[in-house]
A and B are shown apart, each in its own frame.
Chain A
Amino acid sequence: MSLIRANSRMQVLTYLFALLLGTGLYLEFFAGHNWNAGETVLLFHLFVGLIFTVLFLVWVASHIKQGLATSQRKIFTGLSWLLIAKYILIIATGWLMVVPPAIYLTGKIWFWQFETTYLLTFLHLWGAVTAMIGLVIHLGLRHWCNPTPHSNRGEK
């Protein structure tokens, strides 16, 4: 029943993020077994990443406005901003890595220095792994204050 109650856009985002993380981990650790099969996974990863970016940016704006405004705990607020920063980092590094193929499709060749590519990949991959952990914490942490003995506030 909780599945039904959850915001449907958030569900899609959660699902897409899980897929992106799974395919990303595959590319990092398993693509070496078959470089050519890795191309399909990479294409899928890029496609899902594009959709995720659009949906996430639209959703997160309203979520900050409605969700974070109601946070009653500093630690929750701080961690939430950190989580948003992580997602922005993942999206930004992902897009930066897409710049060279995008330029190639316009008929020109340009690419990042190899060291830059390593840095972008590192930030993208491990940012995503920590974002997944952060997301679970974010979802698990309460954002309301514990009710005082005489109060009846808070969610159940």
Chain B
Amino acid sequence: MKRQLKANLPLLISGCIIGILIVVSLYLLRPPAPEPGIDLVNIPFYQLPFGPDENGAERPFWPSRLQTDNGRLVDPSKIQSAATCATCHQKEFDEWAPSLHAIAGRDTVYERAVEANENLHRDGIERARFCEGCHAPGEVLAGRTNRFKSVMPSDAETEGISCVMCHTATHADPLEGNGALTLAVNTGVDQLSNPMILAAPRDHARAFGAAKTNALIASADFCGGCHTENYDQSMSKATTRQHVQSTFVEWRDSWYAQNDITCQDCHMAPDPASYVRQIRDGDIRKPERYAHNFVGANYLMFDTSLGSNLTWLRGGILPGLTKEQNTRLIEKQGTATSALLRAAAGLALKGSHITDNRLVFDIAVQNLGAGHNLPTGVIDQKYMWLEIVVSDANGSVIYHSGSFDTERGQTDPDAVIWREDFRDSAGNRIPDHLTFITAEITHLRKGVPPKGEDIVTYDVALSGDNTGPYQITARLWYRVATQEFIFNTLKTDLIVPPFELVSATFSLPADKKVRP
């Protein structure tokens, strides 16, 4: 053997062996790391009024189905704040910060609705884990949804659905819903210092973006964990399971699911409205990237004309944002929200006939762009209605249905409305989203399914003075809250403006003009 090899080979081999021995020894000799997370017994006065599960295990987050991977609560100081993530991921933070996900746990409408529910029941605060599991998972996982606030707050808990709440997910059950997500927030994250993250960013990415997590959060199943909501006896008066929000199932049974167009494709596209119109045109290629805006339908939370009221409605300004940044980002998100809403629906005249004294016509309300029902989600406050104005050849209005009173914020009670109603045990409608006393869910009219339509027939009486052609103006409106809900919950006379999804004019008899 050559002498250089003779001299160095033992060094190479021994270097490798010693290196391995050092690593193995450190691994074996180091004191066992404490199990990450907080044990239930270390949260003073934590109440478990719902008892154990069928296997006898404690259910610290019930009635939310949210779980941590090791079953332990989370140390709030260990939950990375989105503002911290923004140190490097500024673009993603700027996309997420104005989103509904960011304010899910702090927006005033939600907060007041939770308080109203909490006051309904002796175990109201514990029952509110049902709401907070999806709206403020950090609060629930840290054990702060407790009548005695025995856990210190942290920025991350106020950030609603923050970075770690998605990027640590390991399991989702979209059919059970009610927050049926398992998060490796105790074990799947690193606590590396910033210089170390910068030195080995791939390790940081692998900690937060394990292959299993990345695959899960790119799927509709993940969204279904929260965008499926069922009421049972744990949190309501329902004696049988009541389906309150079925967005996942609506999507699963749709053309979109069959063509692998997921929630993320539309709601995380850089320009969601353009993407939806692309899909409408038959081009089902995936977006070029996924943004973290999660553009949805709640236009109110981006209505900057509300001024300081908007900041109040949004529950203040998130950590990591200045007022100017906040306004700029909200305006941008508001534009995207409006555009997305306008890409969702269509109106068509399906049939008509005129007799001597009747004008009968069918208006089709079409779901052209939403991969779920229109409207979807929990629609006891959110609702959609159709406004129809018929005028004769002289321009005289001979029929008007679905008007909106801008002074009182009331929709014509006789309008055709798509809404679900919460009902108490006596069958009375509950207008205030009081989950804990809801016994049954009924629908005035169910949402229009994806690529489907709902045909509404109008029968208008004509008098001898009316002469054609008749002009029908149809407007499809969406509103994120009923006025009674806003008044009862917020104790304010703030009028929630409706949003015009689409409008169209038709002439009878004869041609059709559509104004998208």
Task: State the A residues within 8 Å of B (CB).
Answer: 2-3, 5-6, 10-11, 14-19, 21-23, 26-27, 30-32, 34-43, 46, 97-98, 100-101, 104-105, 109, 111-112, 114, 117-118, 121, 132, 135-136, 139-142, 155
Contact = CB atoms under 8 A, between A and B. Distances in A.
Contacts of B8: 6, 10-11, 14, 135, 139
Question: Chain B interface secondary structure, helix, strand, loop or mixed?
Answer: helix
Contacts, number: 128
A70 to B, nearest CB: 13
B381 to A, nearest CB: 41
A3 B10 contact: yes
A36 B23 contact: no
A6 B203 contact: no
B12 A14 contact: yes
Contacts of B18: 19
A100 B12 contact: no
B191 A136 contact: no
Contacts of A6: 4, 7-8, 11
Contacts of A14: 8, 11-12, 15
B7 A36 contact: no
A141 B207 contact: no
B89 to A, nearest CB: 10
6 contacts: A6-B4, A32-B206, A35-B204, A35-B207, A42-B199, A101-B198
A43 B196 contact: yes
Range, interface on chain B: 35 or more
Given A32-B206, A39-B192, A136-B5, 15 more contacts: A3-B7, A6-B4, A6-B11, A11-B11, A14-B11, A14-B12, A15-B14, A18-B15, A21-B19, A35-B191, A100-B199, A101-B199, A105-B195, A135-B12, A155-B2
B105 to A, nearest CB: 27
B88 to A, nearest CB: 6
Contact of A155 (B3, B11, B191, B192): B3
A9 B415 CA distance: 89
Contacts of B204: 35
Given A5-B3, A10-B8, A38 B203 contact: yes
A118 B194 contact: no
A43 to B, nearest CB: 7
Interface in B1-29: 1-16, 18-20, 23, 26-27
Nearest to A137: B5
